[in-house]
Amino acid sequence: MNQKKYPVSRRDFIKVSAATTAAVSTMSLGACNTEEVPAPMKRPFGKLGFNVTTLGLGGQASIQWTPEDVDPVPIILKAFELGVNYFDTSNLYAKSQLHFHAAFEKLNLIPGKENYNKTLRESIWLTSKTGMRWGKPGWPEHENVNNWSNGENVKCAVDDVKRSLTQIFGDGEGNYPEGAYLDMVLCHTLHNTDEVDVLYEGLETPLNPDGNFGALVALRDLRDGTNHTGMNPKEEKLIKHIGFSGHANPPAMMDMIQRDEYGILDGILIAINANDKTKMNMQHNVIPIAEAKGMGVIGMKVFADAAMYHKEPRWSQTPEDVFREIGTAELPSKPLIEYSLSTPGVHTLIIGIGHIDEDPMKCQLVQNFYAAQITPDGMSADERKRIEEQAKAVKPKSNYFQAIDKEKLSTPRDLKLEANKLTWQSALADEEPISHYEIMVNGQLVGKVEHKPQLLKSKPFGFDLKEHGKEIIVVAVDKAGNRSEKLVV
């Protein structure tokens, strides 16, 4: 047995799982009986000064699409009792935030109340999201730019943050107690570079409080307790970190990170599962940049929103779409979880829960918790390849949310020659990571540049030419030896 994956044996796990089930019914709410439940594995959450559990609780599945026979609140409570410390929700997840409020009341996590457990609150990481790209009401309509929220009166990203706070910690009517905060707010599901352009308005362009500006500069005010935008007149500190999420477009997600010259982005929620490479992949393009920048990297869509199992490849729409089993015989859930968590750069993985059960062997949450007890190097390259082949054979079209089809290794992008200086933006990887770039002059190799994650768009790859020639070519080379060249024009 690989002890990197399993800090306790399977036999012992069954015992502690049974103890966990008993503990759920007997422990005081919010307590964590570490003598009976194995302490969950944790990883450094980027450079954010927090050790995050490898399993996080997603705010969808039965917490959003709640079946009639499921109470979502005990799901949240049981996650706490297992020691999970990362919790995810959104302003686009129906009543998800309200269900967290009900759980937080039982856990004494409402600031201002006499029994407020500040220590417990500081031990967890709570993330919500906004689908509003603008930071102020009255924004213009832009083609290809989505702005949406479940809140009827939400007109900008700032409104969404306050909606999260009132739903999770307050009265749900717009009021929230002093001391309420979110550990992170994500710009929800980035689609394209048009949305990136809007999000950075007021940062890349002059900030005019009387005009329009993007969500990022307004969220920065809520993070820092400043009022440069005019959207935070009380100079409240309502959030601690800012990030974004994405499923669809790796180049746009890379662009989002690489344009951050301002110390804004601390986290990324990103789709990563065993079918990642069936489309333009995240693991060799986006995740390495986020990791190199020190961002907290949260994986999602490990089961492709149940499209790995009973559902057609589309977004969930009803409670019937919620998967309430523990994998299938042809595609067990455990290795899929291990795959996502052994992807280099991933720190934690959020999974939505369809149901919990008194029998630990039938409980999605307990079984997912166990499967997530894996170190970053706990799955070999051969094992990862086997899981990729299995997932592709069983559900080849699961990753409907990845919008760009699989492509071969790209050429170096935006290749330029100015005087004797060659510059280019990172190539886009296919199934293997990029190794290096070769510079050819008149058919002769004159230099190599090692590929490293490109942190900023303003700092491209470069090479100083000692002599010019009739033909100058830059070649991207991946670790399998695949090559893709571009001629300097």
Name the nearest CA neighbour of 426 among 471, 456, 446, 465: 456
For residue 424, what is the domain's CATH number?
Answer: 2.60.40.10
- Whether residues 324 and 457 share a domain: the answer is no
Q: Does 5 map to a domain?
A: no
Query: Could you give the angle at the alpha carbon of 48 between the alpha carbons of 44 and 53, nearest 5°?
Result: 35
- Whether residues 361 and 433 share a domain: the answer is no
Domain boundary, last residue among 361, 394, 427: 394
- Whether residues 425 and 277 share a domain: the answer is no
- Whether residues 42 and 99 share a domain: the answer is yes
- Whether residues 270 and 190 share a domain: the answer is yes
pLDDT above 60 (res 19): no
Query: Which of 22-36, 103-117, 253-267 is the least confident region?
Result: 22-36
pTM, entire model: 0.92
* Domain containing residue 452: 413-487
- Whether residues 346 and 444 share a domain: the answer is no
Say what the pLDDT of residue 27 is.
33
Edge-first strand listing for the sheet containing 444-450? 444-450, 434-441, 472-478, 483-487
Q: Which residues pair with 299 in a beta bridge?
A: 270, 349
Q: Does 1 map to a domain?
A: no
Tell the residue number behind the tokens 């992949």, with chain if given.
281
pLDDT above 70 (res 489): yes
Q: How large is the average pLDDT for residues 313-338? A: 97
Q: Residues 6 or more apart from 393 whose CB is under 8 A from it?
A: none
Burial of 390 (0-12, 13-18, 19+ CB in 10 A): middle
- Whether residues 299 and 420 share a domain: the answer is no
- Whether residues 222 and 320 share a domain: the answer is yes
- Whether residues 95 and 213 share a domain: the answer is yes
Domain boundary, last residue among 340, 360, 394: 394
Give residue-wise pLDDT tens across range 63-78.
Answer: 999 999 999 999 999 9
Look at the chain and report how many structural domains it folds into.
Answer: 2
For residue 196, what is the domain's CATH number?
Answer: 3.20.20.100
Q: Does 117 map to a domain?
A: yes
- Whether residues 270 and 161 share a domain: the answer is yes
- Whether residues 318 and 420 share a domain: the answer is no
- Whether residues 349 and 425 share a domain: the answer is no
Domain boundary, last residue among 394, 424, 441: 394
